[in-house]
Amino acid sequence: MTTSTTETLLPPTEKYTILGWIKRNLFNSIGDSILTIVAFLLTFVLLKSTLSWAFQEAEWTVIVDNLKLFMVGRYPAEELWRVWAVLYLLAGVIGFLWGAWVKGNERVGYVLIGMPIFLALLPFTMEVRLLILAVDLIGFLGVILGRRDNESFKKWSIIALLLYFPIGIMIIGGIGEGGLLPRVKPDLWGGLMLTILLAVIGIIFSFPIGVGLALGRQSDLPIITWFSVGFIELVRGVPLITILFMMDLMLPLFLPATIRIDSVMRAFVAITLFSAAYMAENVRGGLQSIPKGQYEAAHALGLSSFAAMAFIILPQALKAVIPILVSQFIGLLKDTTLVMILSLFDVLGIGKSVLGNPDYVGTSKEVYVFIAALFWVLSYGLSYASQRLETSLGVGER
Amino acid sequence: MTNKTFYEEQDPIIICRDVQKWYGDFHALRGINMEVRKGEVVVIFGPSGSGKSTFIRTINRLEEHQGGKIIVDKIELTHDVKNIESIRKETGMVFQQFNLFPHLTVLQNITLAPLQVKKQNKAEAEKTAMELLERVGIPEQAGKFPGQLSGGQQQRVAIARALAMNPKIMLFDEPTSALDPEMIKEVLDVMIELAKSGMTMIVVTHEMGFARSVADTLHFFDEGQLVESGRPEDIYNNPKEDRTKLFLSQILQH
Pick from B176, B171, B226, B173: nearest CA to B194: B171
Quick: pLDDT tens for B81-127: 888 988 999 999 999 999 999 999 999 999 999 999 999 999 999 99
Nearest chain B alpha carbon to A291: B99
Task: Tell me, yes or no, whether A119 and A213 share the same domain.
Answer: no
pLDDT at A105: 57
User: Which range is least confidently modeled, A57-61, A67-71, B211-215, B237-241?
Assistant: A57-61
Q: Of all residues in chain A, what percent carry a pLDDT higher than 90?
A: 29
Residue A163 located in a structural domain = yes
For residue B9, name the pLDDT band (cuts at 50, 70, 90): confident
Task: Tell me, yes or no, whether A176 and A200 share the same domain.
Answer: no
Model confidence at A111: pLDDT above 70 = no
Asked if A303's CB is within 8 angstroms of B113's CB, the reply is: yes
Model confidence at A220: pLDDT above 80 = yes
pLDDT at A294: 96
pLDDT at B172: 96
Task: Tell me, yes or no, whether A165 and A259 share the same domain.
Answer: no
- Domain termination residue (choose one: A165, A184, A203): A184
Q: Which string of b and e fits A64-95 if b means at least 16 CB within 10 Å?
A: eebbbbbbbbbbeeebeebbeebbbbbbbbbb
Pick from B166, B203, B55, B112: nearest CA to A297: B112
**Chain B hits for A292, Cβ within 8 Å:** none
Residue A17 located in a structural domain = no
Q: Are strands B41-45 and B200-204 parallel, antiparallel or unpaired?
A: parallel
- The CATH number of the domain holding residue A278 is 1.10.3720.10
Q: DSSP for B19-67, please give it.
A: EEEEETTEEEEEEEEEEEETT-EEEEE-STTSSHHHHHHHHTTSS---E
Task: Tell me, yes or no, whether A150 and A222 share the same domain.
Answer: no
Residue A216 located in a structural domain = yes
- Domain termination residue (choose one: A184, A201, A233): A184
Average the pLDDT over B156-177 and give the result. 95
Give the 3-state secondary structure of A88-100: HHHHHHHHHHHHH
Average the pLDDT over A336-359 and give the result. 89
Contact assessment for residue A235 and residue A276, using Cβ atoms and an 8 Å cutoff: yes
User: Which range is least confidently modeled, A20-24, B65-69, B201-205?
Assistant: A20-24
pLDDT at B253: 67
Q: Of all residues in chain A, what percent carry a pLDDT higher than 70?
A: 94
Pairwise pLDDT comparison (B16 vs A388), residue with the higher score:
B16
Model confidence at A397: pLDDT above 80 = no
**Chain B hits for A304, Cβ within 8 Å:** 85, 117
Task: Evaluate the CA torsion angle A160, A166, A172, A174 in order and state its sign.
Answer: negative
Task: Tell me, yes or no, whether A155 and A226 share the same domain.
Answer: no
Quickly list H helices, B65-180. 81-90, 106-116, 122-136, 151-163
Model confidence at A134: pLDDT above 60 = yes
Task: Find the CB nearest B117 among A296, A303, A315.
Answer: A303
For residue B20, name the pLDDT band (cuts at 50, 70, 90): very high
Q: How far is B126 from chain A (nearest CA, A)?
A: 16
pLDDT at A144: 84
Task: Tell me, yes or no, whether A130 and A223 share the same domain.
Answer: no
Supply the pTM of this predicted model: 0.81
How far apart CA B218 and CA B14 sit, in angstroms, is 15
Residue A307 located in a structural domain = yes
pLDDT at B3: 45
Residue A201 located in a structural domain = yes
Average pLDDT score over chain A: 85
Residue A205 located in a structural domain = yes
Task: Tell me, yes or no, whether A128 and A242 share the same domain.
Answer: no
Asked if B97's CB is within 8 angstroms of A296's CB, the reply is: no
Task: Tell me, yes or no, whether A212 and A358 share the same domain.
Answer: yes
For residue B2, name the pLDDT band (cuts at 50, 70, 90): very low
pLDDT at A173: 83
Task: Find the CB nearest A302 among B97, B100, B165.
Answer: B165
Residue A219 sits at φ, ψ, to 5 deg, of: -65, 155
Chain B contact probe: residue of A220, A292, A301 with most B CBs at under 10 A = A301
For residue A12, name the pLDDT band (cuts at 50, 70, 90): confident
The CB-side HSE value for A321 (13 A sphere, CA atoms) comes to 25
Residue A168 located in a structural domain = yes
Task: Find the CB nearest A398 among B113, B116, B147.
Answer: B147
pLDDT at B163: 96
Range of A353's domain?
191-363
Give the contacts of A159 (CB within 8 A, at least 6 positions apart). Answer: none
Task: Tell me, yes or no, whether A247 and A163 share the same domain.
Answer: no
Model confidence at A320: pLDDT above 90 = no
pLDDT at A322: 84
Asked if A297's CB is within 8 angstroms of B99's CB, the reply is: yes
Q: How many domains does chain A have?
A: 2
Average pLDDT score over chain B: 91
Pairwise pLDDT comparison (A389 vs A320), residue with the higher score:
A320
Task: Tell me, yes or no, whether A195 and A281 share the same domain.
Answer: yes
For residue B5, name the pLDDT band (cuts at 50, 70, 90): low
pLDDT at A126: 83
Q: Which string of b and e fits A205-214 if b means at least 16 CB within 10 Å?
A: bbbebbbbbb
pLDDT at A398: 44
The arrangement of strands across the sheet holding B12-23 comes to: B26-37, B12-23, B67-72, B75-76
- Domain termination residue (choose one: A151, A184, A217): A184
Asked if B89's CB is within 8 angstroms of A300's CB, the reply is: no
Task: Find the CB nearest A316 among B85, B103, B158.
Answer: B103
Residue A270 located in a structural domain = yes
Q: What is the ipTM of this complex?
A: 0.91
Task: Tell me, yes or no, whether A312 and A214 share the same domain.
Answer: yes
For residue A109, name the pLDDT band (cuts at 50, 70, 90): low
Task: Tell me, yes or no, whether A75 and A139 share the same domain.
Answer: yes
pLDDT at A233: 95
For residue A165, name the pLDDT band (cuts at 50, 70, 90): confident
Asked if B117's CB is within 8 angstroms of A311's CB, the reply is: no
Asked if B93's CB is within 8 angstroms of A303's CB, the reply is: no
